[in-house]
Chain A
Amino acid sequence: MSIWRLEWYRLFRTRRWIGLGVAYVLFGFLGSILTKYQDVIFRNVGGGIKVIAPPPSVGQAIGSYVSNASQIGLLVAVVVAAGSLGFDARPEWAAFLRTRVLWMGQIVLPKSTVNALAAAAAFVLGMLAAWYETVILIGPVDVPGMLAGLVYGSLYLAFAVAVVALSAGLARSVVGVVGLALAFLIALPILGQIGVVKPWLPSELVGAPVALVEGGSAASFLRAAGVSVAATAAALWTAARLLADREI
């Protein structure tokens, strides 16, 4: 038994993986269907209003999935990660773990890695579902662009989990950890309104899959990817330091 295995058990025995899977895979399947049949949907629920929409595109279909994944999916991923990384919310359990490790990284790293992998796996499965549906319903998808989008999207989720870890170093309750992490993740796109900063922000990676299947360059996201990797490492290191300094 190790903390790595403990975290896998947490995902499966508490059925948190279902929440992650449903949030991403469901939207993966729905995105392309909604895009393909949007005119039919509007016609039937629009009360006679005529909507003229452009013909469905691959970018629209993937964009529909990414939009939902970056909202509902991210929220679920943050809550699941906070349930694990917010271990100080239960002081007795925290005491068990804390008195058995030499440094907090021994707890933070496995917990963050497992949660990031689980979120990334759910995101990838959702993307694969969206890819399949898009090919069936709309048309061929640019494979290199899609693969690069998978990597960038997963990188962003790893960054998001690291933000949860950092929040766990700042707040003690699970609700506090979730709130702080979401506030930080929402603040990034707002910060992106400053044009010069935008290409460097990890939040740029959210839109990467759509831009890449529409013919964008993977290199244009390298700055955001680099910052994400560095920020993830810094957040995890800071989280370990903050947690070590906290009294139980």
Chain B
Amino acid sequence: MTVVVRTEGLRKVYGSTVALDAVSLEVAEGSVYGLVGPNGAGKSTLLGILAGLRRASSGAVEIATPRRRVAVMPDTPRFDPWITAREVVDLARALTAPEVPLAAVEEALAEAGLADVAARRVGGFSRGMLQRLGIAATIVSGPDLLMLDEPCSALDPLGRHEVLELVSRLGRRATVLFSSHILADVQRVCDTVGVLREGNLLYQGPLDRLLEDHVKPAYLVRLRSAPEPVIRSLRAESWVVGVTEEGRDEIKVEVSQVAAAETGLVSTLAAVGARVVSVEPVAADLESVFLEITS
């Protein structure tokens, strides 16, 4: 595994406030790394240090990609209001990769969904449009490493969907490091995740492993009949850890052994005469795992 971004014991202190504490990050080449954490966790500070906009109080930063091949997007991009969207993207191209043909500007604008407003001055752009423009300016040079700070924070659901699709596509040709406090976004596009809280990196590794490690085998049972007899019957089973009512006609069954549940759950439901609509395993989601490891 080639590591593109590595930090060793990174620490950042503002006066008496510790913004980052001994953060050792590793971003593998070709990965889509999601940096998650609540507001104030230190995500922007960490990205700022990696981007060269801030200096660490101590620790080391190593970026294996040449500086010109790294593109950074701040969380709320803003530009001089009197330049056009096309000029912003072209300026980004000219500064970072002048060898890239002009056609790349139009392609980047189209990919960010701004082709129709390319000639408009950005002074009248909404926050969402500015964020898309920031993305276009970031991808125009075809970077090898992208650092995106909260790229979806100002977007509506459709815009978010489109940008996440874009991040997903970018992940096939570059390494992407992006921060977000929207866990569903991270779960959707990232293969690696780092969980940051109060300046500490609590977890770092493949997203799948994180979910597997924290998953508690459970099943969601939808019923058409009253749940009480079913709950009583299930609680009597040795392989059942807990049964909770999730809704009026739904119960969640947490089990200790998946194999026992797979053979015993349906027969237990049948024995009690329950009218079963569906039985499905509960997938682990990042939000519940996040809450678990940050609490």
Contacts and interface: CB of A to CB of B under 8 A. Distances in A.
B137 A96 contact: yes
Interface stretch (B33-41, B74-82, B162-170, B236-244): B74-82
A95 B72 contact: yes
B95 interface: yes
Interface in B66-99: 67-68, 70-72, 74, 76-80, 82-83, 87, 90-96
B53 A248 contact: yes
Given A1-B87, A96-B137, A90 B78 contact: yes
B90 A96 contact: no
Given A95-B74, A102-B68, A6 B91 contact: yes
Contacts of A95: 51, 53, 72, 74
Interface in A85-138: 90-93, 95-102, 106
A13 B82 CA distance: 7
Contact of B80 (A2, A93, A102): A93
Query: Which among B54, B87, B91 has the greatest number of chain A C-beta atoms within 10 A?
Result: B91
A101 B74 contact: no
Query: Which range holds the interface residue count of chain A?
Result: 20 to 34
A106 B72 CA distance: 18
B54 A100 contact: no
Contacts of A6: 80, 83, 87, 91
A44 interface: no
B76 to A, nearest CB: 6
B206 interface: no
Query: Which range holds the interface residue count of chain B?
Result: 20 to 34
Nearest to A87: B80
Nearest to B83: A9
A99 B143 CA distance: 13
A155 B55 CA distance: 37
Contact of B52 (A10, A91, A99, A106): A99
B152 to A, nearest CB: 17
A2 B79 contact: no
Contacts of A193: none
Contacts of A10: 80, 82
A235 to B, nearest CB: 24
B167 to A, nearest CB: 18
A2 B91 contact: yes
Interface string A64-96: 000000000000000000000000001111011
A248 B71 CA distance: 16
A6 B72 CA distance: 20
B227 interface: no
B48 interface: yes
B51 A99 contact: yes
Nearest to A13: B82
Given A9-B83, A248-B48, A99 B53 contact: yes
B83 to A, nearest CB: 7
Contacts of A14: 82
B95 A100 contact: yes
Interface string B5-47: 0000000000000000000000000000000000000000000
Contacts of B134: 96
Given A9-B83, A96-B74, A102 B91 contact: no
B51 to A, nearest CB: 5
B5 to A, nearest CB: 15
A28 to B, nearest CB: 28
B54 A248 contact: yes
Contact of A93 (B70, B79, B92, B94): B79
A101 B67 CA distance: 9
Contacts of A98: 52-53
A102 B87 CA distance: 20
Nearest to A101: B95
Contacts of B95: 2-3, 97, 100-101, 106
Nearest to B48: A248
Interface string A20-63: 00000000000000000000000000000000000000000000
Given A93-B79, A98-B52, 6 more contacts: A2-B91, A93-B80, A95-B53, A102-B67, A102-B68, A248-B54
Q: 9 smallest A-B Cβ distances: which pairs? A: A92-B78, A1-B90, A100-B95, A99-B72, A13-B82, A1-B91, A248-B53, A95-B74, A247-B54
7 contacts: A2-B95, A6-B91, A92-B78, A95-B51, A96-B134, A98-B53, A247-B55
